[in-house]
A = this chain, B = another copy of it.
Amino acid sequence: MKVTLNRFSLHGCTNGATTNRAVFLQKLKNISTFVFDVDGVLTDGNILVNETGEALRQFNIKDGYALQLAVKKGYNICIISGGKGKAMEKRFAGLGITDVFLEAGDKTILFKTYLKEKGISSDQVLYMGDDIPDLEVMKLAGIAACPADAVPEIKAVSMYVSPYTGGRTAVRDIIEKVLRAQEQWFDRRPDAADSGK
């Protein structure tokens, strides 16, 4: 596990890796809500454009497993994307995710409204984004996280940079970290019978 703690963190951490790591682990325990961007986070950032102009995306099954588990455990999963498409809607519905905001204009306004309606405070929220449209809104989240291939501007405001890239289990990685910190990941007892299916 590689925990990359950023020197320019906006979260008041000192530069010491030990201190920051302790802060990060503490913050993980507060999270009740995940907000995910789609392109570059839940996908590798590529779209396959078909003859009708529809953009098809690749999703990762290991990410899907973690998302389903988080839903089952009662976490809020919120998707905010500037993109659109029936395919995305179907994928998220299939995973049991209901808070899906596509064709999002200003992500910050959406984010604030969502928290207000849900009655969630910002320190309960982990936001994973990868590119500039996520930059301002990420600063508002309790934990800002990003995939290994996020742009430098996003890494600069992220408390946690996953060793995994977008669409290649970065989402699985961060969900697992939160659920483990809260002893909600399936294998809190290695030999337990809860197989997680």
Contact = CB atoms under 8 A, between A and B. Distances in A.
A11 to B, nearest CB: 15
Nearest to A87: B49
Interface in A78-104: 82-83, 85-88, 90-91, 94
Interface in A91-125: 91, 94, 105-108
A106 B197 contact: yes
A133 B65 contact: yes
A143 to B, nearest CB: 19
A61 interface: yes
Contact of A56 (B48, B136, B196): B48
A176 to B, nearest CB: 9
Contact of A131 (B65, B133, B153, B187): B65
A155 interface: no
Contacts of A195: 106-108, 132-133, 135-137
Q: How many copies does the complex hold?
A: 4
B153 A49 contact: no
If over half of A's interface residues share one DSSP class (helix, strand or loop), that class is named, otherwise mixed; here it is mixed
A62 B132 CA distance: 9
A182 interface: no
Interface string A170-197: 0000000000000000110000010111
13 contacts: A40-B62, A46-B60, A47-B58, A48-B58, A49-B58, A50-B87, A51-B54, A51-B87, A52-B86, A53-B94, A61-B83, A132-B196, A133-B197
Interface of A: 39-40, 45-54, 56-62, 65, 82-83, 85-88, 90-91, 94, 105-108, 130-133, 135-137, 151, 153, 167, 186-187, 193, 195-197
Which 9 pairs from chain A and chain B are nearest by CB?
A53-B90, A39-B61, A132-B196, A133-B197, A136-B195, A49-B87, A46-B58, A49-B91, A45-B61
